[in-house]
Amino acid sequence: MTSLMTSPSGAPVGGVPLLEVDDLYVEFRTDYGVVHAVNGISYTLSAGETLAILGESGCGKSVSAQAIMGILDSPPGFVTGGEIRYKGSNLLTMSAKEQRDLRGEEISIVFQDALSSLNPVFSVGAQIGEMFRRHRGASRADAKKAAIELMERVRIPSAKERVNDYPHQFSGGMRQRVMIAMAIALDPAILIADEPTTALDVTVQAQIMDLLAELQKETGMGLILITHDLGVVGEIADRVAVMYAGRIVETGATDAVFSAPAMPYTEGLMASIARVDQKGQRLNPIVGAPPNLANLPSGCPFHPRCPRATDYCPTALPPLLEVVPGRYSACHYAEEVLRDH
């Protein structure tokens, strides 16, 4: 590893969370009305930890990540409330330059679609090397050398020969490795992976997940994994935050949540998936479809689809409260739900 790759900030301070998202609100002001994409979510991430943000399309999981990275399309997207603190300082009040310096250096992101996230007219080596040229002022030759090392680190075979190849010359899995190489180039403290394996085949998905876990072990970075795949969450996340209609509706240690969910939505998701390890009975899906974020149901946004809903649910929004130590649920009947498992 060259000296270019070591982070100037050093190891994070023990005990203090690396990242704190505190009551974050994001909305999109469109011609058709205001879409409330993120409605007051809070979570923390420590060094070396993997937090999965799980949810269906349109639940606001990617938007919250874009807000952290400061890459929200604005307009129409606006952060309308809350704080995002990195090692105690609020990203949202920083100047554009301060934010830019942090991005890539301290927090970086891997997107779902590697083909459209890479520039087709630059070689992958140039794109990985750009991180060093932009942030470290490295020379072209040094940047290329560092790019080759990174490509080896993400296990791209014959990196030296392939450094001048273009994105289209790589397979889907290899392109995702290139994206990961760019993301970890400057040894960030936090890596956000937004559906990193959704477009990939299952055997390649396993390779990429393995790579992320290994890199995390090496560097001790905090990993935020955004996904809709419950299996992937189960395999690699320490903690999971389940999102629905722009809110976190349940959070806790992954195995605890999946062995005894405390929110009917999590219950419903688990009953919806076919299992590879046993021939299941009839699936028990959640009725209806996710709500329109421009026109959310009153009270608990899940109540129109919830088998446990009572007359009370449409009248009051349930806050995310601790049910048992370390487990939070946004359901008026969380204790009952938990007891049923």
Partner 1 sequence: MTTETLTATSGSGTSSEPLLRVEGLVKHFPLTQGIVFKKTVGQVRAVDGVSFSLDKGETLGLVGESGCGKSTVSKLIMHLEKPTAGKIFYKGTDVTELSGKELRKLRRNIQIIFQDPYSSLNPRMTVGDIVGEPWEIHPDVVPSKDRQRRVRELLERVGLNPDFVNRYPHQFSGGQRQRIGIARALALQPEIIVCDEPVSALDVSVQAQVINLLEELKHEFGLAYIFIAHDLSVVRHISDRVAVMYLGAIVEIGTEEDIYENSAHPYTQALLSAVPVLDPVARAQKTRIMLTGDVPSPANPPSGCRFRTRCWKAQDICATDPPELVDRGQGHPAACHFAEAVKIVGGDTHVPEPTTEISAPVAGPDGSTHPSGS
Note whether 308 binds partner 1 by CB under 8 A: no
40-77 core/surface letters (b: 16 or more CB in 10 A; e: else): bbbbbbbbebbbbbbbbebbbbbbbbbbbbbebeeeeb
Q: Contact region for partner 1 (CB under 8 A) — 1-9, 63-71, 203-211, 293-301?
A: 203-211
Question: Which residue, 270 or 324, has its beta carbon nearer to partner 1?
Answer: 270
Q: Which of 28, 27, 26, 10 is nearest to 18 (CA)?
A: 10
Q: Which of 94, 204, 317, 321 binds partner 1 (CB under 8 A)?
A: 204
Strands 239-244 and 247-253: antiparallel
Query: CA angle 100-103-108, nearest 5°?
Result: 160
Q: Contact region for partner 1 (CB under 8 A) — 7-15, 19-27, 195-203, 331-339?
A: 195-203
State which of positions 139-158 bind partner 1 (CB under 8 A).
Answer: 157
Q: Which of 1, 16, 273, 316 binds partner 1 (CB under 8 A)?
A: 273
> Position 181: which residue type?
A
Note whether 276 binds partner 1 by CB under 8 A: yes
Question: Which residue, 5 or 245, has its beta carbon nearer to partner 1?
Answer: 245
d(CA 253, CA 237): 8
Kindly determine how many residues on this chain lie close enough to bind partner 1 according to the rule CB under 8 A: 48
Would you call the peptide bond into 75 cis, given omega within 30 degrees of 0 as the criterion? yes
DSSP 8-state symbol, 199: T
Quick note: the x/- pattern for partner 1 over 71-110, rule CB under 8 A, is: ----------------------------------------
What is the nearest approach in angstroms of partner 1 to the Cβ of residue 7?
Answer: 27
d(CA 222, CA 65): 14
Quick note: the x/- pattern for partner 1 over 226-265, rule CB under 8 A, is: --xxxxxxxx-------------------x--xx------
Note whether 289 binds partner 1 by CB under 8 A: yes
Question: Which residue, 93 or 284, has its beta carbon nearer to partner 1?
Answer: 284
Note whether 56 binds partner 1 by CB under 8 A: yes
166-176 core/surface letters (b: 16 or more CB in 10 A; e: else): bbeebebbbbb
What is the sign of the dihedral through the CA atoms of 222, 225, 231 and 234? Answer: positive
Note whether 296 binds partner 1 by CB under 8 A: no
Residue 108 structure tokens: 């970086």
Summarize as ranges the residues that interact with partner 1 (CB under 8 A).
56-57, 157, 171-174, 201-207, 209-210, 228-235, 255, 258-259, 268-280, 282-287, 289-290
